[in-house]
Amino acid sequence: MLKGKHIILGISGGIAAYKSAALLRLLVKAGAEVQVIITPNGKEFITPVTLSALSGKPVISEFFTANSGEWHSHVDLGLWADLMIIAPATASTIAKMANGVADNMLITTYLSAKEHVMIAPAMDLDMWAHPSTQRNIRTLEQDGVEVISPADGELASHLVGKGRMEEPENIVKCIKAFFERNNVSEASLAGKKVMITAGPTYEKIDPVRFIGNFSSGKMGFAIAEEFAQRGADVTLVTGPVSLDVKHPRIKRISIESALEMYETAVQTAPECDVAVFAAAVADYRPETCNQTKIKREKGEAPVIKLVKNPDIAAACGKLKKDGQIFVGFALETDNELANAREKLDKKNLDIMVLNSLRDAGAGFATDTNKVTIITENSEMQFPLKSKVCVAADIVNTVQGLLTH
């Protein structure tokens, strides 16, 4: 899969730089040609000698080679590479990337990069959680950089928390998934119609209040982008989220309540080749919505009577015809596999994507997810990945089941 691929491995100055040697070795073993660019601080943590021995190429760090005066062209490097991965990406390197502070060879190369860029951040938990780091990460994501979220665990400071660079094996899996996504021809799903439900639903109590949930919509939006990139025409039926659709082949239908989502979905799904039910639909809604704002009255607190919402996936599953592939999600806290299989059956779906709330980094409102993809005859467990990588795994599974 990585044979002949040109990869720039950027290394910035953090303790996790020692893991970059293992990452480099795995990439080279998988057949990639790797050019290492290390920041001046990175060299305090791992020597260029080790890295050039492993990559079989001189390591680049300065703008010029000291003796010969040979200039290293960051523009040429940008053109040469199929992918740039910066691991570890320290808080400082992330900040420089987000703000275009081109004071070393790694950042100038990043600013000239035409290829896809990934970062695997590594830092102390407080630095990771700091609003400025999180702001910079959001900026990079908006700029199209793929962030391989740090893992939880013991850190160099001996504190325990989020900030450990993801293990080299898992970084390689994300890199392979990127090339897999790219290898799938642009037009491999051309002409296919796909419907996706995403986000939460809001169930009104009165004009200013509602019952909702913490769903961010990120998983559904990532799946929509993935299908569109492969040539499908996508209808994205989404509850209230703060995300924008990027691909022109995605038609967005914004709804608010489960009933609105239901009406759109049962009309759209029967016309589609694929339907993915990624929305976190509220199972119940208030029986009535007060026409005026409920006042804070003296005495007893109001009691809100709830009634059941329709099960959108199950209703569409009942209408499913041969050849259509329908995908559901199951968010479970216990007895996960058995519950997910039961939902697959009950809702008449073909694929169930299971996330367990017992797994850190999985489920709602995170940028990552850890899933098991279940079909009638198989179960595939995947490691913690960005939702973009998980979307590719889901779409690959759908493509495997589509007959033509």
Task: Return the active site residues.
Answer: 213
CA 32-34-36 angle, to 5 degrees, is: 160
Find the helix or strand (DSSP H, E) in which 145 lies: none
Largest Cα separation within the chain, whole Å, is: 85
3-state secondary structure of 152: strand
Q: Considering beta carbons, is residue 171 or 312 the nearer one to ligand CTP?
A: 312
Q: Round to the nearest angstrom and report the end-to-end CA distance of the chain.
A: 25
Nearer to ligand CTP by Cβ, of 102 and 241: the residue is 241
Residue 178 structure tokens:
């990127």
Q: How far is the CB of 396 from ligand CTP (least distance, A)?
A: 19
Closer by beta carbon to ligand CTP, 178 or else 329: 329
Q: How far is CA 196 from the centre of its chain?
A: 16
Paired with 261 in beta bridges are none
Extract the tokens encoding 72: 């290293």
Distance CA 268, CA 89 (A): 43
Closest distance of CB 321 from ligand CTP, Å? 18
* Nearest residue (CB) to ligand CTP, 245 versus 259: 259
Nearer to ligand CTP, 183 or 214 (CB): 214
Choose between 313 and 384: whose C-beta lies nearer to ligand CTP. 313
C-beta separation of 376 from 327 below 8 A = no
Q: What is the nearest approach in angstroms of ligand CTP to the Cβ of residue 308? A: 8
CB of 333 to ligand CTP, least distance (A): 9
Tokens of 205: 């109590």
**3-class state of residue 108 by DSSP:** helix
44-56 as b/e: b if 16+ CB within 10 A: ebbebeebeebbe
Token readout for 245 is 């659709």
What six digits make up the tokens of 14?
């953090």
Look up residue 195 and give its DSSP letter.
E
> Is 13 or 200 the residue whose CB approaches ligand CTP more closely?
200
Task: Name which of 292 and 335 has its Cβ closer to ligand CTP.
Answer: 335
Q: How far is the CB of 206 from ligand CTP (least distance, A)?
A: 22
CB of 165 to ligand CTP, least distance (A): 32
Q: What is the DSSP string of 26-73?
A: HHHHTT-EEEEEE-TTGGGTS-HHHHHHHHSSPPB-SSB-TTT-PBP-
**Measured from the CB of residue 316, what is the shortest distance to ligand CTP in angstroms?**
8
* Shortest Å, Cβ 355 to ligand CTP: 9
How long, in residues, is the chain? Answer: 404
- The binding site for ligand CTP (CB under 6 A) comprises 197, 258, 277, 279, 281, 283, 309, 311-313, 328-331, 343
Rounded to whole angstroms, the Cα distance separating 338 from 31 reads 40
What are 399's two structure tokens? 């493509």
- Residue 191, sorted as left (phi over 0), alpha (psi -120 to 50) or beta, turns out to be left
DSSP secondary structure letters along 85-106: EEEEE-HHHHHHHHHT---SHH
